[in-house]
Amino acid sequence: MFVYVNGQIVSKEKATISAFDHGYMYGLGLFETIRVDNGHPFLLDDHFQRLQNGLTSLGINWSMKREEIVEVIQALLQANELESAYVRWNVAAGSNDLGFYTGEYTNPTTIVFMKPLPSQIASEKDATILSIKRNTPEGEFRLKSHHYLNNVLAKRELGDASNVEGIFLTEAGFVAEGIVSNLFWVKDGVVFTPSVKTGILDGITRQLVLSLLEQKGIPYRIGFFRPDDVMSADEAFITNSIQEVVSLTSLNGQSYRGEHLVARELRRLIAFNRERLWSRSELNGGIT
């Protein structure tokens, strides 16, 4: 594997950072996971707008234009002999003295990882409600940060099974999100999903799905819901940037026996747009 580190492409064995990088010392950094198909980074503009906004809120001075980002991705594709890939783009605060720093970080660390897309991406999974609760965001809203302990502990609770997703509840007992996904379900033709006020990450694919539902005239509701609301649904699905839309066959042993029509239609629409969209804002007139 070849990795991009601060302007250079190096083998993974040579990819290093300073021990004083505050991304390592304090988890002060953000990342985006991007799906690349046949050289096109799907929804790249949306991913990097979220990344830029988050870094600004952390006092990390970082920016790159789309052309520069694409150049890095294309160089990594070539180095790793890939046309399609899973890309993880990390930006950390960079080196500073030991101790908390309240000023602006002006020399951040940028690392871009790349690996092949899974040879088979599941279209169905089971789900189970986790006993560990979703922690509240450290700030006003949840960032896609290097501070991932809540998710790691949840994955340890769930175990290694790749065909099961764990679903977080909040401390108040509201449905939140999956370990690596956002959650949706359908009841009587209406799509439901938890509010970001439950502390979930506002996923890029989550935002795309809401835009697609609006474009297609499918009603949806965002709010605070209990596990029984999900288990009594006609269908349910989870979303993320690599797997995109995955139907749930069951939740806590309660099976979904419907035809998963909404999830199937969303998968079709995303597949149609996957190699053309830079942002969900381009959807106008682009749905068939």
Contact (Cβ atoms closer than 8 angstroms) between residue 177 and residue 183: yes
The CA distances from residue 224 to 54, 81, 197, 209, in Å, are 25, 45, 8, 18
Confidence of residue 122 (pLDDT cuts 50, 70, 90): confident
Tens digits of residue pLDDT in 203-246 = 999 999 999 999 999 999 999 999 999 999 999 999 999 999 99
Cα(105)–Cα(43) distance, integer angstroms: 27
160-164, 202-206, 263-267: which range is least confident on average?
160-164
Read off the pTM. Answer: 0.95
Q: Which domains does the chain have, with CATH numbers?
A: 2-115 (3.30.470.10), 124-283 (3.20.10.10)
Residue type, 181: S
List alpha helices for the chain, DSSP H.
Answer: 22-25, 44-57, 66-79, 149-158, 204-216, 227-231, 261-273
